[in-house]
Amino acid sequence: MRHNIAQGLHGLALACAAAAALCMVAIVGIISAGVVMRRLGTPLHITEEVVGLLLSVTLLLGLPMVTLKSRHVRVAIVADNVRGAWAIGLSVAALILGVAFFAWLAIETIPWFEFAYDRNLKTLTTRILLYPWMAVMPLALVLSGTILIARLAGIIPQKGEVPPASSQTGGTGT
Q: Is the pLDDT of residue 1 over 80?
A: yes
Where exactly are the structural domains of the chain? Answer: 2-156
Quickly state the pLDDT bin for 71 (edges 50, 70, 90). Answer: confident
Residues 6+ apart with CB under 8 A from 67: 13, 98, 144, 147, 148
CA distance 144 to 146: 5
What local confidence, expressed as pLDDT, does residue 122 receive? Answer: 95
CA distance 95 to 78: 15
The candidate with the shortest Cα–Cα distance to 151, out of 79, 94, 108, 78, is 94
Helix (H, G, I), strand (E, B) or coil at 122: strand
What local confidence, expressed as pLDDT, does residue 43 receive? Answer: 87
pTM: 0.84
How far from chain centre, in Å, is Cα 48? 22
Q: Is the pLDDT of residue 149 over 90?
A: yes
